[in-house]
Amino acid sequence: MASNIRIIFYGTGGSWPTPIRAMPAVGIKIDDVLNLFDCGEGTQKQIMKSSTSFMEIDNIFITHFHGDHFLGLLGMVQSMSFNNRSKQLNIFGPKGAINILSNALNVGYYTLHFPLKIYELEPDRTYDFGKFLIKTTLNDHPVPALSYSLEEKDLIKIDPEKAKQKNIPSKIIEKIRENGTYVYRGMEYRIQDISAGVRRGRKIVYTGDTRPMDRMVEFAKNADVLIHDTTTDSSFEPAVNEFGHSSSRQAARIAKRAGVGRLYLYHYSPRITDTKVLLEDARTEFENTYESKDLMELEVKVRHDE
């Protein structure tokens, strides 16, 4: 059975919060597993306004350690502890994560009442999280920084007619799909006997802060959703690139070359009050471009052709 995958944009701004925009934080929920990508100041309050709870979060992936991308962790971890969290929280980041976060999370007086693990991830690696994979690449920013690709595992499709012909009970279909073979009441059933091919897993790429780079084209190839740094419109490109960011036009060019399904603009400069100019700029290069907005939620649907 295909998973339910939902993206929640908790905060879409960059650098500092504004009255209309919160700091970077994106949730990607796969069935009952909630993953948080970046955790800027005020993220826990944004989550409270959403359909999710910060107590649900299983994994947090930090792209880099500029303050607007991780300072929300300090308060949120303490709130989790005050609310009697018991399940483990995993926090992942680039080189330096263990030292930086260990120090940051020990600020102030409080008692941590749940297991918390911090991990440093390497670029150009694949990590298995059961239902999905996390892939990493080094992006182009002035400090150590990772981009993340969350990829649903490929799913073997089931031919219901073949299953019916072999009198296979519906309650064991998922067991056969999961294990390849399954013995039920003395009979062995094989996945190849009821397979209807493979449905490619859905893919979501979150760049974090980065200059435009060719490596991102391959990293984001055929992604269903690309959430790319689009700090300004193209009129500010020299300056925005100097500080390690991309314009909406540059992100759209990457999206087009990578053949992604949809591009979402993200990490708007606090000086940008009207994002329509960014959208118009991007759509001259890639039509399937959309604005992300605080507290916007979207479902990543299974492709109709699969």
Structure-block tokens of residue 84? 């009697």
Rounded Cα distance between 225 and 9, Å, is 13
> Residue 73: enclosing H or E segment and its boundaries?
helix 72-82
20 Cβ partners below 8 Å, 6+ apart? Answer: 273, 294
Output DSSP code: residue 205.
Answer: E
| Rg value, the chain, Cα | 21
Rounded Cα distance between 279 and 292, Å, is 10
68 flagged as catalytic = yes
A 10 A CB-CB count for 294 gives 17
Rounded Cα distance between 73 and 205, Å, is 22
- Of the residues 31, 32, 68, 294, which is catalytic? 68
Strand, helix or coil for residue 29 = strand
Active site residues: 68
